[in-house]
Structure 1
């Protein structure tokens, strides 16, 4: 029998305490009135979840456009929680750590999973260094790559760790290989109610690909971009701008975003692939983009945040001829979304005013 959004699992616990619906409302009021900022956000979401409406409002991150508020089905969020629980074999009474902002869908879904699956959820303030007890055995946790990087020595007691919000850096791959637990990259967005696919990152016998969760169907449009159908999530024929390679009806990899593709001298280049090759050689935040060129049409450029003088010709030794940047620009600060993702187009606008061009030696 599929649970409904208006029921709280009997095994659910929040910070070690059990609550029924009315008790949880009281806790929510207390969090709003007396809690820290992140706790007030949690309190407001829980009250929205526990009211009589069958939808909640969720804010998109704004990584591909202007942030907006969308109304999503609570029951669809239940189905998302069940799909995650089934994939990772989460059971009532399993312990989970919540260290993401509840302002966005990833953080909201951590609460919904606990409510629906009957998880014992420990909540800490979202930060680079979440203040959790790293000696506690956790069955499940979600983080962003920055948190994984900053807490790599504190992850030994997390059985399943999912990572999303940004591409997983290649520099972290060797560091997670020796972790006893399993680490997965996630693919999803606000409209799909967090992830619809996961990709194993460590303890691999063969190359890992994104594997869709139960109830998710994928295909490609004429551009090669991913199309998602997920009836239980109320997603129908959702066309993304992510160019993908399909390995089967259930597996894919993301090549790059179609709106980032660079056509340089008739060669199509994907910034995300170039960035993956450069990740280990550049110490600060950066991204690959392009600008007009009379000969090539578009030429590859590298945009760096805060120059640390580490960029030399050897930085680009892993790149093919057409992939190598023809110019390097330095800006003091990247433009970001409210969730911390780089806004490439907005940052490129800064180049016209504030960027310094670094000579290519």
Structure 2
């Protein structure tokens, strides 16, 4: 399915022309263009599905089958939700190896967008000199693009939570910026929330709103259940603990598999991290290790070279945080120079923790 108004790098192409372009990308293009070429040929094949690899940030990367029909339905839902119909100008700055990058191309082909490609680097707008209606980024790219965001009218951000500090930095910016929620199994995002609204409704400010044709529920763990018949034949059971407001709105609290049971108190690392962002300027995460007394002991891992003065200063700053209760205060801190990350920049917490614990030996 290729819309008559679809164009890529200013080339308006039919199926044959797109196959030729994709083959050229594979033979002569840069790495990111080769990735696009491989996906386009896969999309244009007679198969009714494509195979997509998950990121591996919360477990071992795996390959799953995604039906093209579901990808088309997802593209249509995105167009309606964000009011981005045909002739929308779009910028692709994500790798086409993953679902987020693939879906930008599908949206363009299905909805009739005019899409341009740039390398999927941390500062993707550095070589961009025209304005686009729509773009998708990961939080790291947004953080490195703040001084050029005027080039994007509408931006969706996914692949990981947007930090509180970054949310503060985008307030007052004219670009409409949305944090998205989704996964490979849901064919990219199924919900979104604006993080820099002109008018702030405190009651709904932190709630994600589901896209069309999606209904939400929770299981006995308070984990989100997603019913999206146009995207997946089965009800999707997640490990994301949420507060469900309506069948369309939810507040995300954290991952069920990250929950820390310390002295009988259930703690969500993601909630603690939000509070610690006020005093930590480097990448970090909260996790736990076994403890004979507490069961789980809260620890903090920070991505930076060890420095005794910085360590003691951070320790004092954390203890002075008024919104951090005594159970949430890290019992140990580790500084390590570099986190273990996936290919697309997501922190692998388990492997990074192993590295941190090894450094103590």
- Count of residues in Structure 1 that have an aligned counterpart in Structure 2: 350
- Give the drift of 1:174: 2.0
Give TM-score, length-normalised by structure 1. Answer: 0.93
Q: Deviations over 1:51-106 (max 9, x none)?
A: 11111111111122211221210010000000000001112111011101111000
Residue 334 of structure 2 is matched in structure 1 by 329
SS in 1 for 2:335: strand
Q: Which residue of 1 aligns with 2:357?
A: 352
Counterpart CA distance in 2 for 1:11 and 1:105 is 23
Shift of 1:266: 1.6
Q: Does 1:140 align with 2:138?
A: no
CA distance in 2, matches of 1:22, 1:124: 23
The one of 216, 233, 236 equivalent to 2:231 is 233
Of 140, 154, 158, the residue aligned with 1:160 is: 154
- Do the aligned partners of 1:134 and 1:155 also contact (CA within 8 Å) in 2? no
What's the counterpart of residue 3 of structure 1?
A: none
Q: Would you say 1:38 and 2:32 are equivalent positions? A: yes
User: 1:294 Cα deviation (Å)?
Assistant: 2.8
Contact 1:331–1:355 (8 Å) recurs in 2:
no
- Contact 1:228 1:235 survives alignment (8 Å): no
Report what 1:4 is aligned to: none
Equivalent in the alignment of 2:316? 313
The CA deviation at 1:133 is: 5.5
For 1:218, the equivalent position in structure 2 comes to 216
Of 290, 304, 307, which aligns to 2:288?
Answer: 290
The alpha-carbon deviation at position 347 of structure 1 amounts to 1.8
Encode CA deviations 1:196-233: one digit per residue, 9 max, x unaligned: 00011012421321000011111000000001111111
1:37-76 → structure 2 map (5 Å cutoff): 37-76=31-70
2:344 pairs, out of 339, 345, 356, with 339
Q: Name the CA distance, whole Å, in 1 between partners of 2:60 and 2:167.
A: 32
Q: CA RMSD in A?
A: 1.5
Runs of 4 or more above 4 Å deviation: 131-135
**1:8-38 Cα shifts (integer Å, max 9, x gaps):** 1000010111001100000011000000000
Q: TM-score, normalised by structure 2?
A: 0.93
Q: For 1:292-330, what per-residue CA distance to the aligned partner results, in whole angstroms no more than 9, with x for missing partners?
A: 223322221111122362523113414111111111012
Q: Deviations over 1:210-262 (max 9, x none)?
A: 00001111100000000111111124221111000011110001101111111
Aligned equivalents of 1:40 and 1:73: distance in 2? 22
Gaps of 5+ in 1: 1-6, 357-361
Alignment partners' CA distance in 1, 2:357 and 2:302: 15
Structure 2: which 5+ runs fail to align?
Answer: none
Pick closer, same or farther for the CA change 1:73–1:151 going to 2, 3 Å: same
Contact 2:125 / 2:148 at 8 angstroms: preserved in 1? Answer: no
* Distance 1:294-1:83 versus aligned 2 partners, 3 A rule: same
